[in-house]
Amino acid sequence: DGGITQSPKYLFRKEGQNVTLSCEQNLNHDAMYWYRQDPGQGLRLIYYSQIVNDFQKGDIAEGYSVSREKKESFPLTVTSAQKNPTAFYLCASSMRRGIRWNEQFFGPGTRLTVL
Amino acid sequence: AQRVTQPEKLLSVFKGAPVELKCNYSYSGSPELFWYVQYSRQRLQLLLRHISRESIKGFTADLNKGETSFHLKKPFAQEEDSAMYYCALLYSGAGSYQLTFGKGTKLSVIP
């Protein structure tokens, strides 16, 4: 199914390497988000962007970086500075509703494993 | 600061029994609350939101501002309800809106 796509589904990386996770949406949504999902921790917000060329740190931004050069794309780079990068990463998007926002729609996720 | 608490990590019920997944929140502003569900091998999806006051797949949730709760209920559990459920609070801060999630409750419906 379309909407929001994330690639790859599984990703392996060696310690000390940066890696970029892809997130694309064709819903014409204004905002995009990156979450990290760990067992027993729920979802924690890494970064979000509500408009092209602008993004904000979430609760756990350290060791991550993002860009928003196009409305439909919001890639996440996991840098070597991230102390515990092995996790399931979820991308989401939502549409502006007046001064508020509609619910978020989620991608299928990328499971990153650091070897 | 805003917070969402789901006190049960795991909830097991028999098929046909009533289900109640608890969610409590703390937020100084006007809350907007959601329940998201993640079935096995599927992506996280919205189940319902309190402002809609609707019933989805037999589930309902009522916002109780006095008790700061948004519990999810279903009178008769089905096997296909087995999934991970997350309660989420939409809050505003610094001109933006963000979702904060609880840690989730895994519902297991026993045949």
Task: Note the pLDDT tens digit of each residue in B61-72.
Answer: 989 999 999 999
Distance in angstroms (rounded) separating the CA atoms of residues A50 and B96: 8
Q: Which residue has the higher pLDDT, B94 or A93?
A: A93
Answer whether the bond into residue B18 is a cis peptide, omega within 30°: no
Q: State the pLDDT confidence band at B30, using cuts at 50, 70 and 90.
A: confident
For B84, the closest chain A residue by CA position comes to A42
Q: pLDDT of A67-77, one tens digit each?
A: 999 999 999 99
CA gap B70, B49 in Å, rounded: 10
When pLDDT is cut at 50, 70 and 90, the band that residue A61 belongs to is: very high
Work out the percent of chain B whose per-residue pLDDT is above 90. 75
Cβ separation of A106 and B100 shorter than 8 Å? no
Beta strands per DSSP E along chain A = 4-7, 10-13, 19-25, 31-38, 42-51, 54-57, 64-66, 76-78, 87-94, 96-97, 100-101, 105-106, 110-114
pLDDT of residue A1 exceeding 60: no
**pLDDT greater than 70 at residue B58:** yes
| Nearest CB to B102; choose among A42, A101, A105 | A42
Task: Say yes or no: B96 contacts chain A, CB-CB below 8 A.
Answer: yes
CA B50/CA B61 separation, integer angstroms: 7
Q: Is the pLDDT of residue A109 over 70?
A: yes
Confidence band, pLDDT 50/70/90 cuts, at residue B95: low
Residues in chain B with CB shorter than 8 Å from the CB of A50 are: 96
Which has the higher per-residue pLDDT, B78 or A99? B78
For residue A11, pLDDT beyond 70: yes
Picking from A40, A58, A100, the nearest residue to B103 by CB comes out as A40
Q: What is the pLDDT of residue A9?
A: 94
Q: Is A42 on the interface with B (CB under 8 A)?
A: yes
Q: In this complex, do B99 and A108 lie within 8 Å of one another by their Cβ atoms? A: no
Find the mean pLDDT for residues A80-92: 93
Mean residue pLDDT across chain A: 92
pLDDT band at B55 (very low <50, low <70, confident <90, very high): confident
Judged by a CB distance cut-off of 8 A, whether residue B90 touches chain A is yes
Q: How confident is the model at residue A98 (pLDDT cuts 50, 70, 90)?
A: confident
